[in-house]
Structure 1
Amino acid sequence: MKKVLLVELSVFERMTPLASGYLQAYAMTDPVIRSEYRFERYTTVAKTPRADVIRDLVGSTADVYAFSCYVWNMGLVKAAVDAIRQARPHAQIILGGPQVMSQALRYLSKTDERTVICNGEGEITFTQYLLALTDSGSRLHEVNGLSFYCDGELVTTPKQPRISNLDDVPSPFLTGIFDSDYSIAILETNRGCPYHCGFCFWGAATNDRVHRFDEQRVRDEIKWIAKNEILFLFIADANWGMLSRDVDISQHITNCASDHGAPNVVYFSAAKNKPHAVTKITGIFQDANLIASQPVSLQTLEPSSLDLISRSNIKLSAFAEIQEDLREKQISSYVELIWPLPGETLDSFKRGIGTLCENEAQTVIAYPHLLLNNTPIYHNAEKMGIVSRPAGGGAAEARVVIGTKEASEEDFIEGMYYFYAFHALHNTRSLRTVSRYLVRQSGIQYQDIFSAFAEFLRQQGEDDPILAYMERSIRDADYYDVNNYGLFIHTVVHEHRELFNDHVRRFVQGQDWWGDDKVRALFEIDLLNRPYMYSNTPMDVHAEGFQALHFLGRGPRSYTVQVPPEYMADLADAVQIRTTPADGVFTVEHKRLQYPFMPTQSRDHSGSYCHGMIEKVGNIMPFWQPASPPDAYRPVNESSDEKGLYPHVEI
């Protein structure tokens, strides 16, 4: 029998290779293939050393190699294909996935007629390709959906029709293809996307139509995932919550988790025009402790940009209503933006983030704009003035956009510094009470505060580790890495927390508005309220005394403070208060849902953890609650050097 090796080089470790599973499951429905071929899978993360991957693939001595190709692994795939071709000149190679579709001139060689590209949905084309290889004569011309070279000429066969009945593809979960040796499961309940966003290939590839897997099959797959104790579940649908059944399926996930103890966490891409359905789904997951943050994918608030990228967002008024609803239900949310998109200027980008803050956005993440093959922006890059640069190192083939017709490269860089400053200041709530007061009472705009803080950080010395992180990330395009923003939070809220606290203190003291006595008082609230990513980060010790608030003492992970009546309304507006004590004496309890920092874990682990925590920052914000009984805290000795200080907590 001939050996087929299905190759997936993924972002995450121990993740179900769903694309490979589908290909194998469908191919094995054909009796000829069952008699002629045996299947093996090779899965590893794309960060695996190139030499190790090549050694493993060449050493597998497969007759057919099938690669799933994405922006994050294409550099590694190309190196592996070259090595396989040199070591095994007679091996057949098929490339599939969004990175190679309709890109034959880019990825195929006239001198290599044994490498082909699949130009669409893979199951039928891959099966017919394998059947064509069983014939002594070349029958690749009869297989729809392929590109290949023959006698020096490029051949592209007609498109393969999409699979309308997805249940023709057997489930790799339910047919024994997957075992239980995974930590992350990918679940697909439908295929397709009705939108044609300029930066995305999903809608263009599926021609608007959304096809569904049978609901009972989906439910059985979820039960299999739960029974096999797979901890993390990624729902791969483009718009979870778009279909009415998604709410019931979400409830089924929580029921299975309750019965079997897994999954523990659920991730999904929310339907952007069904916000209330998504809010309901998020509530279901939160009640089951499976998720605690609702994603809101706005991408941009600039109308001209939305027109250029063919994207219609939810109305801002609806967004504000949803944010208030989420706040009342104590459900975190995070807004996803992309910088820079065509039509977006530096000013509109800054202004958009300010608008989101005015509308109670809890966390905002501005992801890099990846120039993906085959997208509308890719096809109109010159017209839109797109300037891009490589990112991701040798394993990836990513290009990040660093300029458009509306935003120069200098604008892009300034926008990145602005976002890092915003990320550190707003997403960590480090100046929340002060900034809300300034915006509402003094006419200052949020974007002015973040711009000023960005400029302040850029003025720090070259040996400043926080500035160095920002500069390195922007210079080397490290922000492409999914863990980069999380590691920045790790840097400012844990690793260099004391330095960052000093930066914020010196920043506010240098502003014109620092002369306002109320600003000084509210800043003391912000000092107490700044969250901790980890349960064992040493508690802050501030050199300056408290002037407006009365610092009374501390507990293992808490502070006790008395807030004068004139600041109570601002406090209630900005922090999480369970009950307001008559005497104004609060315990600020920082023991929430944090995990301890573990030095033995990798930096990637810390980055991934902190990114996930900042997306649901409400879970780690302290509770302000009445300090009862009064002797529950240790008073500060008024005559000691500790007066007005945060006593250091030993871990």
Structure 2
Amino acid sequence: MNTLPVTLSLLENHCDDIPNLNFLPYVFHTYKKSILEYMPRQPVDIAGATLYIWNKNRSLKLLKHIKQTNPHCMTIVGAGNAPFYDAEAEYFLRNNPYINFIIHKEGEQPFNQLVKYHKGELDLTQVNAISWIENDKYYRNPLGKFPSLDVPSPYTNQNFLATMQEVDKLGLTRGTVWETNRGCPYSCSFCDWGGLVSQKIRQVPTERLHEEIDFLVRNMDEVFFGDANFGIFPRDVEIIERVTELYESLDNPRLTVMHTGNAKNTTDRVYKIGQMLTKHNLQRGGVSLSLQTYTDEALANVKRSNIKKETYQELTKKFVADGIAVYTDMIINLPGETFATFLESLETVLEGEVTDIRTFLLEMYPNSAISQQVEEFDIKTKNNLIFKGVVEDENEYTTQVISTYSMNEEEGERLRKFTISLDILHQGKFLYFISKYLKEELGIRYVDFYLDVFENSTGFLKLIQDHVLVMKKFNDGVYNYAKGHIPFDIDWGGGFRKQQYMWTIIAEQSEQFYSDVTDFLQKFNDSKLNDLLQFQKDIMISSDYNPDIGKTSKYEYNWYDYFYNNKPLVQEGHVIKYCDTHIGSLSERIPLKDPSMFMKYASGGRSYFTQRQGSYIHHSIEKLVDLVPT
């Protein structure tokens, strides 16, 4: 998938009051070639780039070469990785002297003004929200009044429309960002939502949105909402109603996925939105109910509040019970968090039975408030490679926090490895039913069981607790694409998440895995665990499954009713027939015929992160029939 450059289109559209401007085709898709292959062949008067974590180094390299070729060209940078704070902005300009101006926060109005300055229609004192170096002195103009969002749609721009054809030629799916409002009323210090945290939210006019809905449903494969809190306004429900009504009315709508960043305190609207998108399989990643942490000290440090634990768990269970997937983001290494307190928050999330838990190391975005509190919180960081360029100076990195005053580097690394292991074993279902039984019957917390496995297992079970060792042993140490051993001859295409690859390694060696699990479970001295272990093994999707005949297994206990129908556990002979013919859900049902195809989906579904719905197990009531023998 490739995200088409809607921000560039917005900048161009905002200059429609300036005559005789010729915008060259956008440079936006550069991962297969060196950035220098996109050098414009004609003279350039103004060159600009939106800097983000995924394109900063390549964009700066291109601007540097444009400036060398066109010495009188005015060069401009803006967006999330263009530094906002004065010390960082001045340092950036002095270390990148080929850059003339930084635009701070929203770029449309200052960009328009800089173009007019270049044409001699304004002087620099009339340009808002910029900084620059002149005669070895640093200057900065104040922010202007944020402009209205009542401007032409970016999707009508001819340069934008041309990018769709470029993506098609590359054989990639089309994706774009859709903005229905701008701004965020919250003040989370780790966030930098376009420099617009703690801001009043402004809305794109409804009439324009209606026109854009028609374009997006007919022309885009994936749509990422650019709103920080979609669902915060009553009209957001109406927007999705209009999307789904059009989607349902068309014979061949192109749209397949909408990724929303949901509001955290408007749960009724978020539920309705999730329900409508789920009905049409348009929100496979799920509804986001992000909490990051429940640790009071950490929340206070990052100026964040959360919904109550009880409310969170009630909501997640309601969503999941109604077939609406839910995911939760959690951040490791927030200042004030410890190993133990993070596990307490994680236990709350696990109890909510969410579809997906996404854990991340805290990242230091250059314009976030917390980037100015490094000394206060004793923050240590490292660069993390996220994009490997054709040449080394085109690599792209994020800045990850590896320790704070409350958690040292060793604890942070241990927690990261633990959460990856739990992601595979619990979210990936390999030990899900065992851990659920131990919690419900013996009162063992999920996190305590998995921590016990993490620290005290042996053999292959011990090996897979360390993703670094697994990827080194089986895939030459590469984390995101296949280079070594490839279970089931899966074609990973553009790459994978390491959790997906590790899931296939365990699935391939499931006999050894569950043999080690059997040994580990002996400590509980519970005779029912042997029968449960058989159920746990049988319910997993395996490469030798034959959909033509299904799979039948007999158990001493009523495990299916116990886990799926909330029945008491009783010792009565049950025969379960697993009769799936496909894996996945709705439009992405993959036939269980070719393991190289269906085991890829079983490992986590299609990717933007992992989608998980329909993955891992024989999982639906319709597909899992309980046959009680007479």
Query: CA-to-partner distance for each residue in 1:447-469, whole Å, 9 max, x for gaps?
Result: 12211232357975989996524
SS of the residue corresponding to residue 219 of structure 1 reads helix
CA distance in 2, matches of 1:265, 1:245: 20
Query: Which residue number in structure 2 is paired with residue 191 of structure 1?
Result: 182
Query: Which residue number in structure 1 is paired with residue 217 of structure 2?
Result: 226
TM-score (structure 1 length as normaliser): 0.80
**Equivalent residue for 1:515, pick from 525, 531, 535:** 525
Report the alpha carbon displacement of residue 405 of structure 1 after superposing the two structures with TM: 0.8
The equivalences for 1:20-419 within 5 A come to 20-28=8-16, 30=17, 33-35=18-20, 37-45=21-29, 47-49=31-33, 52-59=34-41, 61-102=43-84, 103-109=88-94, 112=97, 115-135=100-120, 139-163=123-147, 165-167=148-150, 169-174=151-156, 176-179=158-161, 180-181=164-165, 183-202=174-193, 205-227=196-218, 229-260=219-250, 261-292=253-284, 293-392=286-385, 394-419=394-419
Query: Which residue number in structure 1 is paired with residue 583 of structure 2?
Result: 592
1:18/1:186 contact within 8 Å kept: yes
CA distance in 2, matches of 1:420, 1:610: 17
SS of the residue corresponding to residue 38 of structure 1 reads coil
Structure 1 stretches lacking a partner, 5+ long: 1-11, 533-537, 541-553, 576-580, 631-651
SS of the residue corresponding to residue 426 of structure 1 reads helix
Report the alpha carbon displacement of residue 271 of structure 1 after superposing the two structures with TM: 0.7
2:327/2:358 contact within 8 Å kept: yes
Report the alpha carbon displacement of residue 509 of structure 1 after superposing the two structures with TM: 1.9
- Does 1:570 pair with 2:562? yes
Report the alpha carbon displacement of residue 493 of structure 1 after superposing the two structures with TM: 3.0
1:190/1:212 contact within 8 Å kept: yes
Report the alpha carbon displacement of residue 629 of structure 1 after superposing the two structures with TM: 12
With 312-321 and 256-265 compared, the bigger mean Cα shift is at 256-265
CA distance in 2, matches of 1:239, 1:230: 22
- Aligned-CA RMSD value: 3.6
Report the alpha carbon displacement of residue 144 of structure 1 after superposing the two structures with TM: 1.5
SS of the residue corresponding to residue 22 of structure 2 reads strand
Query: CA-to-partner distance for each residue in 1:561-580, whole Å, 9 max, x for gaps?
Result: 234455454243589xxxxx
Report the alpha carbon displacement of residue 470 of structure 1 after superposing the two structures with TM: 5.7
1:333/1:361 contact within 8 Å kept: yes
Q: Given residue 300 of structure 2, which amino acid in structure 1 is its aligned partner?
A: D
Q: Given residue 79 of structure 1, which amino acid in structure 2 is its aligned partner?
A: K
Report the alpha carbon displacement of residue 58 of structure 1 after superposing the two structures with TM: 5.0
CA distance in 1, matches of 2:566, 2:36: 54
1:110/1:153 contact within 8 Å kept: no
1:370/1:399 contact within 8 Å kept: yes
Query: CA-to-partner distance for each residue in 1:194-248, whole Å, 9 max, x for gaps?
Result: 0010110128535421000111211110101223x31111111001111111111
Query: CA-to-partner distance for each residue in 1:398-428, whole Å, 9 max, x for gaps?
Result: 2011111111000011001101110111111
SS of the residue corresponding to residue 223 of structure 1 reads helix
Query: CA-to-partner distance for each residue in 1:241-270, whole Å, 9 max, x for gaps?
Result: 111111110111112222341311111101
Structure 2 stretches lacking a partner, 5+ long: 168-173, 389-393, 481-492
CA distance in 2, matches of 1:557, 1:40: 59
CA distance in 2, matches of 1:592, 1:39: 47
Report the alpha carbon displacement of residue 588 of structure 1 after superposing the two structures with TM: 4.7
Q: Given residue 108 of structure 1, which amino acid in structure 2 is its aligned partner?
A: L
Query: Which residue number in structure 2 is paired with residue 649 of structure 1?
Result: none
CA distance in 1, matches of 2:590, 2:193: 36
* Residues 61, 616 of structure 1: alpha-carbon distance in 2 compared, 3 angstrom cutoff: farther
SS of the residue corresponding to residue 155 of structure 1 reads strand
CA distance in 1, matches of 2:517, 2:289: 31
1:487/1:611 contact within 8 Å kept: no
CA distance in 2, matches of 1:274, 1:160: 31
Query: CA-to-partner distance for each residue in 1:156-189, whole Å, 9 max, x for gaps?
Result: 11212211x210x221223555325361121100
Query: Which residue number in structure 2 is paired with residue 622 of structure 1?
Result: 619
2:497/2:609 contact within 8 Å kept: no
CA distance in 2, matches of 1:34, 1:124: 16
Query: Which residue number in structure 1 is paired with residue 485 of structure 2?
Result: none
Report the alpha carbon displacement of residue 361 of structure 1 after superposing the two structures with TM: 2.8
* Residues 614, 428 of structure 1: alpha-carbon distance in 2 compared, 3 angstrom cutoff: farther
2:604/2:610 contact within 8 Å kept: no
Report the alpha carbon displacement of residue 68 of structure 1 after superposing the two structures with TM: 0.5
Query: CA-to-partner distance for each residue in 1:419-441, whole Å, 9 max, x for gaps?
Result: 11101111111112211111122
Q: Given residue 507 of structure 1, which amino acid in structure 2 is its aligned partner?
A: V
2:438/2:444 contact within 8 Å kept: yes
TM-score (structure 2 length as normaliser): 0.83
Query: CA-to-partner distance for each residue in 1:525-570, whole Å, 9 max, x for gaps?
Result: 11122247xxxxx237xxxxxxxxxxxxx64483222344554542
Report the alpha carbon displacement of residue 617 of structure 1 after superposing the two structures with TM: 5.1
Report the alpha carbon displacement of residue 21 of structure 1 after superposing the two structures with TM: 0.6
2:309/2:348 contact within 8 Å kept: no
1:73/1:397 contact within 8 Å kept: no
Q: Given residue 83 of structure 1, which amino acid in structure 2 is its aligned partner?
A: H
Q: Given residue 375 of structure 1, which amino acid in structure 2 is its aligned partner?
A: S
Report the alpha carbon displacement of residue 515 of structure 1 after superposing the two structures with TM: 3.1
The equivalences for 1:465-476 within 5 A come to 468-469=469-470
CA distance in 2, matches of 1:564, 1:306: 47
CA distance in 1, matches of 2:207, 2:496: 37
1:121/1:160 contact within 8 Å kept: no
Report the alpha carbon displacement of residue 610 of structure 1 after superposing the two structures with TM: 4.6
CA distance in 1, matches of 2:538, 2:315: 28
